Amino acid sequence: FFSRHLSGGRVMDKSTTLYTITAAGSLYTAHMLLAPRFYLSQAKIDENFDTIGLCRGLGGGIIGLTSMAYMAAKSSSEELKLAALCSGATAFVAWTVNNAYITYTKASLQAKSDLACSAFCLGICTCALAAGK
């Protein structure tokens, strides 16, 4: 997959990748901040004050990365785009490993969705960084 896309095939440029991450991050932020009970129920996690607070806290972190991706996408600075993609890739590595573990140990639909989203975003970050476009 990666070799075909990196050897002259079509690869998303950095800005398009960052806009894609912005869209995914915006949806996740809304989900975590506005509907934490739904997220927890889909993840088969007990809904209580602490877990709702953790969801909203995670939403705050996601919105931080999302806003950085959006600002970098709109910027003409290649250094800012690179920094945003590297920060995103770092977070997506951690989330993908964590989501893979959760999917393996507690296979809820939410865990599988989280794994798919984090792996997709990690993949597009990696492609954009490797392509250098």
What is the per-residue pLDDT across 12-34, written as a single tens digit (0 to 9) for each?
789 999 999 999 999 999 999 99
pLDDT of residue 11: 66
The Cα 119–Cα 13 span in angstroms is 18
Structure confidence at residue 119 (pLDDT): 96
Distances (CA, A) of 89 to 17, 18, 85, 86, 106: 11, 11, 6, 5, 25
42's tokens: 């889909």
pLDDT of residue 10: 61
C-alpha 105/C-alpha 8 separation (Å) is 39
* Residue in the structure block whose two tokens are 């490993």: 97
> Helix or strand or coil: residue 133?
coil
Q: How far apart are CA 118 and CA 106, in angstroms?
A: 17
- Which is nearest to 129 in space by CA: 98, 90, 96, 94? 90
Which residues of the chain are modeled with pLDDT < 70?
Answer: 1-11, 133
**Euclidean distance between CA atoms 130 and 9, whole angstroms:** 13
Cβ contact 52:119 at 8 Å: no
